[in-house]
Amino acid sequence: MNQVERGACELHEMDELAARQSPIHSLCPLAKLLTTIAYLVTVLSFRKYDLSGVTVMLLYPVLLFQLSGIPVRTCFHKLRFVLPLVMAVGLFNPFFDRQPMLTLGALTLSGGVISMLTLMLKGVFCLMTAFLLMATTSIDALCAALRRLRLSGMPVTLLLLTYRYVGIMAEEAAAMTDAYHLRAPGQRGIRFSAWGSFLGQLLLRSMDRGSELYSGMQLRGFRGEFHYAAMKPWRWSDTVYLTVCVALFLVFRLFHLAQLLGSLLVR
Amino acid sequence: MIEFQNISFAYEKERPVLSNLSFCIREGENVGLIGANGAGKSTVMKVLLGLLKAEGRILVDGTEVTKGSLTEIRRKLGFVLQNSDNQMFMPTVYEDMIFAPLNYGLSRTEAEERVDKALEKLGLQELKHRHNHKISGGEKRMAAIATVLAMEPEVILMDEPTSALDPYNRRIVINTIRSLPQTKIITSHDLDMILDTCDRVILLSGGELAADGPADAILRDRALLEAHRMELPLCLGGARRQG
Q: State chain B's mean pLDDT as an integer.
A: 91
- When divided into structural domains, chain A yields a total of 2
pLDDT, one tens digit per residue, over B81-127 is 988 888 888 888 998 999 999 988 899 899 999 999 999 988 899 99
Minimum mean pLDDT range among A17-26, A134-143, A222-231, B15-24: A222-231
Q: What is the ipTM of this complex?
A: 0.81
Please tell me whether residues A124 and A207 are part of one structural domain: no
User: Across the interface, do A229 and B95 touch by the CB < 8 Å criterion?
Assistant: yes
Residue A219, C-beta contacts closer than 8 angstroms, at least 6 positions apart: B49, B51, B74, B77, B78, B79
- Contact in structure between A131 and A75 (CB atoms under 8 Å): yes
Please tell me whether residues A75 and A184 are part of one structural domain: no
Q: Tell me whether residue A265 is in a domain.
A: no
CA angle at A149 for the pair B97 and A158, rounded to the nearest 5°: 55
Conformation bin of residue A186: beta by default, left when phi > 0, alpha when psi is -120 to 50? left
Minimum mean pLDDT range among A57-61, A119-123, A209-213: A209-213
Please tell me whether residues A145 and A155 are part of one structural domain: yes
Q: Tell me whether residue A264 is in a domain.
A: no
Q: Tell me the C-alpha distance between A134 and A129, whole Å.
A: 9
User: Across the interface, do B104 and A221 touch by the CB < 8 Å criterion?
Assistant: yes
Please report residues of A whose CB lies closer than 8 A to that of B90.
140, 229
| Dihedral sign from CA coordinates of A189, A192, A195, A197 | negative
**Which of A209, A125, A51, A111 shows the shortest CA–CA distance to B85?**
A209
Please tell me whether residues A12 and A123 are part of one structural domain: yes
Please tell me whether residues A86 and A5 are part of one structural domain: yes
Instruction: Give pLDDT, residue B242.
Output: 52
Element at A232 (helix H, strand E)? none
pLDDT, one tens digit per residue, over A149-159 is 888 888 888 88
Instruction: Give pLDDT, residue B243.
Output: 46
- Residue A227 φ/ψ, nearest 5 degrees: -105, 100
Please tell me whether residues A150 and A94 are part of one structural domain: no
Give the single-character DSSP code of B39: S
Q: Which residues pair with B79 in a beta bridge?
A: B157
A239, HSE (Cβ side, Cα atoms, 13 Å): 4
Q: Does B133 touch chain A (CB under 8 A)?
A: yes
> Is B150 a residue whose pLDDT tops 60?
yes
Conformation bin of residue A160: beta by default, left when phi > 0, alpha when psi is -120 to 50? alpha
Residue B126, C-beta contacts closer than 8 angstroms, at least 6 positions apart: none
Nearest-Cα residue of chain B relative to residue A208: B86
Domain holding A195, by residue range, is 139-228
- Contact in structure between B96 and B132 (CB atoms under 8 Å): yes
Please report residues of A whose CB lies closer than 8 A to that of B103.
220-223, 227
Q: Tell me whether residue A156 is in a domain.
A: yes
pLDDT, one tens digit per residue, over A45-97 is 999 888 888 999 999 999 999 999 999 998 988 888 888 888 888 788 888 87
Residue A73, C-beta contacts closer than 8 angstroms, at least 6 positions apart: none
Q: What is the mean pLDDT of residues B25-48?
A: 94
Please tell me whether residues A210 and A245 are part of one structural domain: no
Q: Tell me whether residue A9 is in a domain.
A: yes
Q: Tell me the C-alpha distance between B155 and B183, whole Å.
A: 5
Q: What percent of chain A has pLDDT over 70?
A: 96
Instruction: Give pLDDT, residue A229.
Output: 61
User: In terms of residues, how long is chain A?
Assistant: 267
User: Sorting pLDDT into bands at 50, 70 and 90, what band is B193?
Assistant: very high
Q: Which residues pair with B157 in a beta bridge?
A: B79, B185
Return the higher-pLDDT residue of B240 and A262.
A262
Q: Between the CA of residue A134 and those of A24, A43, A216, A230, what are the distances in Å?
A: 12, 18, 27, 17
User: Across the interface, do B86 and A217 touch by the CB < 8 Å criterion?
Assistant: no
**Which of A137, A17, A127 shows the shortest CA–CA distance to A81?**
A127
Q: How far is B238 from chain A (nearest CA, A)?
A: 33
Q: Tell me whether residue A12 is in a domain.
A: yes
Element at A116 (helix H, strand E)? helix A111-136
How deeply is A63 buried, as exposed, middle or buried, from its count of CB atoms within 10 A (0-12, 13-18, 19+)? middle
Q: Tell me the C-alpha distance between A264 and A259, whole Å.
A: 9
Please tell me whether residues A115 and A145 are part of one structural domain: no
pLDDT, one tens digit per residue, over B160-192 is 999 888 899 899 999 999 999 999 999 999 999
CA angle at B99 for the pair B98 and B105, rounded to the nearest 5°: 90
Please tell me whether residues A93 and A145 are part of one structural domain: no
Q: Tell me whether residue A200 is in a domain.
A: yes
Q: Mutation test of the interface with chain B: which of A220, A223, A226, choosing the one with the most B Cβ atoms within 10 A?
A: A220
Minimum mean pLDDT range among A89-93, B193-197, B231-235: A89-93
| Dihedral sign from CA coordinates of A33, A222, A162, B80 | positive
User: Sorting pLDDT into bands at 50, 70 and 90, what band is A188?
Assistant: confident
Instruction: Give pLDDT, residue A1.
Output: 61
Q: Tell me the C-alpha distance between B191 and B185, whole Å.
A: 14
Q: Which of B87, B103, B129 sits opposite A216 (nearest CB)?
A: B87
Instruction: Give pLDDT, residue B156.
Output: 95
User: Across the interface, do B81 and A138 touch by the CB < 8 Å criterion?
Assistant: no
Q: Tell me the C-alpha distance between A221 and A214, whole Å.
A: 11
Q: State chain A's mean pLDDT as an integer.
A: 87
Please tell me whether residues A127 and A28 are part of one structural domain: yes
User: Sorting pLDDT into bands at 50, 70 and 90, what band is A230?
Assistant: low
Nearest-Cα residue of chain B relative to residue A212: B86
Instruction: Give pLDDT, residue B1.
Output: 86
Instruction: Give pLDDT, residue A103.
Output: 81
Instruction: Give pLDDT, residue B3.
Output: 95
Q: Tell me whether residue A197 is in a domain.
A: yes
User: Sorting pLDDT into bands at 50, 70 and 90, what band is A232?
Assistant: confident
| Highest mean pLDDT (candidates A3-12, A107-116, A225-234, B180-189) | B180-189
Please tell me whether residues A118 and A11 are part of one structural domain: yes
Give the single-character DSSP code of B205: E
Q: Which of A16, A222, A223 sits opposite B131 (nearest CB)?
A: A16
Q: Tell me whether residue A266 is in a domain.
A: no
User: Across the interface, do A140 and B95 touch by the CB < 8 Å criterion?
Assistant: yes
Provide the residue type at B210 as one letter. Answer: A
Q: What percent of chain B has pLDDT over 90?
A: 70
Nearest-Cα residue of chain A relative to residue B72: A221
User: Across the interface, do A209 and B131 touch by the CB < 8 Å criterion?
Assistant: no
Minimum mean pLDDT range among A128-137, B100-109, B149-158, B234-243: B234-243
Q: How far is B71 from chain A (nearest CA, A)?
A: 7
Q: What percent of chain A has pLDDT over 90?
A: 34
User: In terms of residues, how long is chain B?
Assistant: 243
- Residue A234 φ/ψ, nearest 5 degrees: -75, 125
Please tell me whether residues A113 and A56 are part of one structural domain: yes
Q: Between the CA of residue B111 and those of A138, B150, B217, B236, what are the distances in Å?
A: 20, 8, 42, 44
